[in-house]
Amino acid sequence: MTATTSIHGMWSTRMAFILAATGSAVGLGNIWRFPYTAGEYGGGAFVLVYLICVAAIGIPIMMAEIMLGRRGRQSPINTMRLLATQEGRSPAWQLLGWMGIVAGFLILSFYSVVAGWTMAYVFRAAGGAFAGVDAETVSLMFGQFIADPEALLAWHSIFMVMSVAVVARGVANGLESSVRFMMPALFLLLVAMVGYAMTSGHFVEGATYLFRPDFSKLGTEGILSAMGQAFFSLSLGMGAIMVYGSYLNSRSSIATSVVIIAGTDTLVAILAGLAIFPLVFANDLAPQLGSGMVFKVLPIAFGQMPGGQFFGTLFFLLLVFAAWTSAISLLEPMVAWLVENRGFSRVRAAMLAGVAVWLLGIASLLSLNLWSDLTLFGLGFMDLCEFVAANVMLPLGGVLIAIFAGWMLARSSSIDELRLGDGVGYRLWWLLIRYVAPIAVAIVLLNAVGLLKL
Ligand code: PHE
């Protein structure tokens, strides 16, 4: 027997689910992380591997996550335990849910800090701080900003309070309208920014950088990062999409929803790349600008374009909203579990989870300034959290989800849940989830730790 509703509430319509899941997927990952990681690994080859990962690994795994969530109708930990027991498998599969909680915890801790940067930049843009600035000045401005732990702490705290506030009310209330209007607005603004980039005189150079593969710059770590970026950007491998799936009604088509969600997410990332790289070249900057890239590049454009003060403010504001709707999904698996297993009210659960994440985030923001000398494997705390969570934990969670959905769950159960019949679509999913996704992720992970030479 599978439950038809969740105790945490349900999405009112399939559209509400698509909006929420797209809200989770589209965020800092697309606009902040994608351009700078692509720049770090040489552009085109990274983008190509990323796109292949989205299509061949991300889409089938997203279908699997939603399917498992909807069948379990509980937090990822309890969903995995329930489904494993139902299928006669070991209850240890719930560890997958636990790993997701840890990954979500790590991700949100630094994500909130970066969302804080975005909030600070709303005010800078509105106050006219970018008027006529050159590349050097913006870069200096960013450097000074992240050197100030108090400012970072204030913004990080505000963002965490905002995220807790929404999760405390329940994700099905309060999220829908913000995604419905903000997302299309962000999209249009990005298109306009790409239009502006076309006037920079370096558009072709930027686009070529993004799309012409040069494998010499990619390397093992580049492949790992491209795969990690696909998981991160699609919100996969940690239970966020699974928990959102658990609030989806039983009739809705999973496959169509996934194509819309993943397609939008990928398009937004590509648009962000097309808006930023031409400006990188137009201002004689190197693509290896690091995690400050958007903050070091776009303000130059806002400082020059007509109406830049308005567009800059709007852009950073919409980015805050995009980050907000992602942060909520990072908290939800933890909160759902606290409500189910500890009997907490949503408000209490959200506050508890929020405080824990907030504390960890302080370590991240201090690693940018006071603790910048403390490194492990050459990475500061924030970069380490990002690397481990995105490139190791999410893909690992993804492989386990693929193995569970493809090998542990009875074929009849997935046929029943995906509602694609037993036709070409289902068989393609079956092939991808059973063989392609787990083998590809395993090869990349093993190659990265040096256990396998590509
Ligand atoms: N996908 C979000 C982004 O791109 C981040 C995220 C990762 C959200 C994992 C939930 C789970 O910004």
Pocket of ligand 1 contains residue 329 by CB under 6 Å: yes
Pocket of ligand 1 contains residue 106 by CB under 6 Å: no
Query: What is the pTM (predicted TM-score) of this model?
Result: 0.96
pLDDT value of position 177: 66
Please tell me the distance from the alpha carbon of residue 450 to that of residue 257, in angstroms, as a whole number: 37
Q: What is the DSSP string of 227-268?
A: HHHHHHHTT-SSSHHHHHHTTS-TTS-HHHHHHHHHHHHHHH
Burial tier of 391 (Cβ tally within 10 Å: 0-12, 13-18, 19+): buried
- What's the mean pLDDT in 51-69? 98
Comparison of pLDDT for 19 and 182, the residue scoring more? 19
- What's the mean pLDDT in 309-335? 95
- Contact status, residue 156 vs residue 362, Cβ threshold 8 Å: yes
Out of 63-72, 172-181, 265-274, which region has the weakest mean confidence (pLDDT)?
A: 172-181
**Distance from the alpha carbon of residue 109 to the mean position of ligand 1, in angstroms:** 12
- What's the mean pLDDT in 420-447? 94
Pocket of ligand 1 contains residue 107 by CB under 6 Å: yes
Pocket of ligand 1 contains residue 413 by CB under 6 Å: no
**Distance from the alpha carbon of residue 27 to the mean position of ligand 1, in angstroms:** 6
Pocket of ligand 1 contains residue 324 by CB under 6 Å: no
Please tell me the distance from the alpha carbon of residue 24 to that of residue 241, in angstroms, as a whole number: 8
Q: Is the pLDDT of residue 289 over 70?
A: yes
Q: Whose CA is nearest to atom 8 of ligand 1?
A: 235
Q: Is the pLDDT of residue 30 over 90?
A: yes
The band of 452, judged by pLDDT with boundaries at 50, 70 and 90, is: confident
Could you report the per-residue pLDDT of 95-148, keeping only the tens digit for each? 999 999 999 999 999 999 999 999 999 999 999 999 999 999 999 999 999 999
- What's the mean pLDDT in 48-64? 98
**Distance from the alpha carbon of residue 391 to the mean position of ligand 1, in angstroms:** 13
- Class in CATH terms, 14-448: mainly alpha
Half-sphere exposure of 438 (CA within 13 A, CB side): 16
Question: pLDDT above 70 covers what percent of the chain?
Answer: 98
Half-sphere exposure of 257 (CA within 13 A, CB side): 29
Could you report the per-residue pLDDT of 193-229, keeping only the tens digit for each? 999 999 999 999 999 999 999 999 899 999 999 999 9
In the chain, where the domains are located:
14-448
Q: Is the pLDDT of residue 1 over 70?
A: no
State the chain's mean pLDDT as an integer.
Answer: 94
Pocket of ligand 1 contains residue 238 by CB under 6 Å: yes
pLDDT value of position 173: 75
Pocket of ligand 1 contains residue 24 by CB under 6 Å: yes
Residue to mutate (ligand 1; options 109, 242, 329, 332; most atoms within 8 A of CB): 329
Pocket of ligand 1 contains residue 29 by CB under 6 Å: yes
Pocket of ligand 1 contains residue 278 by CB under 6 Å: no
Pocket of ligand 1 contains residue 28 by CB under 6 Å: yes
Calculate the dihedral angle through the C-alpha atoms of 152, 107, 267, 313, rounding to the nearest 10 degrees: -20
**Distance from the alpha carbon of residue 29 to the mean position of ligand 1, in angstroms:** 6
The band of 92, judged by pLDDT with boundaries at 50, 70 and 90, is: very high
CB atoms within 10 A of CB 412: 9
**Distance from the alpha carbon of residue 390 to the mean position of ligand 1, in angstroms:** 9
Q: Whose CA is nearest to atom 9 of ligand 1?
A: 235
Q: Is the pLDDT of residue 178 over 70?
A: no
Q: What atom of ligand 1 comes closest to residue 29's alpha carbon?
A: 4
Pocket of ligand 1 contains residue 326 by CB under 6 Å: yes
Q: What atom of ligand 1 comes closest to residue 32's alpha carbon?
A: 12
Unique residue bearing structure tokens 């498998």: 89
**Distance from the alpha carbon of residue 111 to the mean position of ligand 1, in angstroms:** 9
Q: In this structure, what token pair is assigned to residue 36?
A: 């700078």
Q: What atom of ligand 1 comes closest to residue 30's alpha carbon?
A: 4
Question: pLDDT above 90 covers what percent of the chain?
Answer: 88
Pocket of ligand 1 contains residue 233 by CB under 6 Å: yes
Pocket of ligand 1 contains residue 240 by CB under 6 Å: yes
Residue to mutate (ligand 1; options 65, 232, 234; most atoms within 8 A of CB): 232
ipTM of predicted complex: 0.98
Pocket of ligand 1 contains residue 330 by CB under 6 Å: yes
- Contact status, residue 178 vs residue 321, Cβ threshold 8 Å: yes
Pocket of ligand 1 contains residue 328 by CB under 6 Å: no
Pocket of ligand 1 contains residue 393 by CB under 6 Å: no
The band of 170, judged by pLDDT with boundaries at 50, 70 and 90, is: confident
CA 121 from centroid of its chain's CA atoms: 21
Q: Whose CA is nearest to atom 11 of ligand 1?
A: 235
**Distance from the alpha carbon of residue 366 to the mean position of ligand 1, in angstroms:** 22
Residue to mutate (ligand 1; options 33, 234, 330, 396; most atoms within 8 A of CB): 330
* DSSP-assigned beta bridge partners for residue 13: none
